[in-house]
């Protein structure tokens, strides 16, 4: 094992990183990507600008790290359960995140800025593609096991399920009620046998 891997991370550095990442999400959600500045994040986090640059080279790298931590820390437990149960857990989680979370607050700013900034657009598309993979894999496994109809295209089904949740939030001003996830699955995949 390399010496660098053996060294423990200083808890103060890790705490500082977490505060900075939370400040970055708050800043993005409040003022958008265009006005987002490392100086403002530093002030919000109570750290020096150089502290941020020690960990991230620019604002996109900082935002990417914040989104990665947000995504990793919030995933539902899929260790057990039938494919449909796991699918319901994932979609309830997505509906809750899209309704009320730092991700939800930042999402419109990210979508808007991705239309104007090609580097951000590439990040956003990569991030979303990676975030969809577990859902697509779960649906594909459910098709293979016979739990979901063989007629389904796993990727199209995932896009349809997620699309309903995101459309409701971004296009209607309302949020998708997590309690309606079962009905959404019935509409896209079909009722359980």
Buried b (16+ CB within 10 A) or exposed e, 36-71: bebebbbebbebeeebbeeebeebbebbbbbbebbe
Is the domain covering 3-68 a CATH 1.10.357.10 domain?
Answer: yes
pTM of the model: 0.80
Give long-range contacts, CB 8 A cutoff, 24+ apart: 129-132: 131/71, 132/158, 132/159, 132/162
Which pLDDT does position 78 carry in this prediction? Answer: 79
Coil vs helix vs strand at 17: helix
What is the chain's pLDDT, residue by residue, as a tens digit (193 residues)?
Answer: 455 554 677 788 888 899 999 999 999 888 888 889 999 999 999 999 999 999 999 999 999 898 888 776 667 777 899 999 999 999 999 998 888 878 888 888 888 888 888 998 999 899 889 889 999 999 999 999 999 999 999 999 999 999 999 999 989 989 999 999 999 999 999 988 6
Q: CB–CB of 180/99 below 8 Å?
A: no
- Short-list 17, 59, 19, CA closest to 39: 59
**Topology match between the domains 3-68 and 74-188:** yes
> How is domain 74-188 classified at the CATH fold level?
Tetracycline Repressor; domain 2 (1.10.357)
Domain ranges of the chain: 3-68, 74-188
d(CA 176, CA 77) in angstroms, rounded, equals: 21
User: How far is C-alpha 31 from the chain's CA centre?
Assistant: 19
Which pLDDT does position 140 carry in this prediction? Answer: 97
Six-digit token pair at 117?
Answer: 């900034």
Q: What is the 3-state secondary structure (H, E, C) of 38-87?
A: HHHHHHHHCCCHHHHHHHCCCHHHHHHHHHHHHHHHCCCCCCCCCHHHHH
Which pLDDT does position 118 carry in this prediction? Answer: 92
């Amino acid at each position: 094992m390399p010496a660098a891997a053996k060294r423990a991370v200083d808890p103060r550095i890790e705490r500082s990183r977490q505060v900075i990442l939370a400040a970055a999400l708050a800043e993005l959600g409040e003022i958008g990507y265009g006005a987002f500045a490392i100086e403002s994040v530093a002030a919000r986090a109570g750290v020096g600008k150089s502290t941020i640059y020690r960990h991230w080279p620019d604002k996109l790298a900082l935002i990417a790290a914040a989104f990665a931590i947000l995504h990793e820390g919030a995933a539902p437990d899929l260790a057990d359960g039938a494919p449909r149960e796991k699918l319901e857990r994932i979609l309830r989680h997505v509906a809750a995140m899209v309704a009320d979370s730092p991700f939800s607050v930042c999402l419109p700013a990210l979508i808007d800025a991705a239309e104007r900034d090609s580097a951000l657009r590439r990040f956003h598309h990569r991030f979303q593609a990676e975030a969809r993979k577990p859902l697509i894999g779960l649906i594909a496994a459910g098709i293979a096991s016979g739990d979901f109809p063989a007629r389904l295209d796993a990727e199209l089904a995932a896009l349809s399920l997620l699309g309903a949740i995101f459309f409701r939030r971004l296009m209607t001003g309302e949020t998708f009620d997590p309690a309606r996830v079962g009905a959404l699955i019935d509409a896209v995949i079909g009722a359980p046998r």
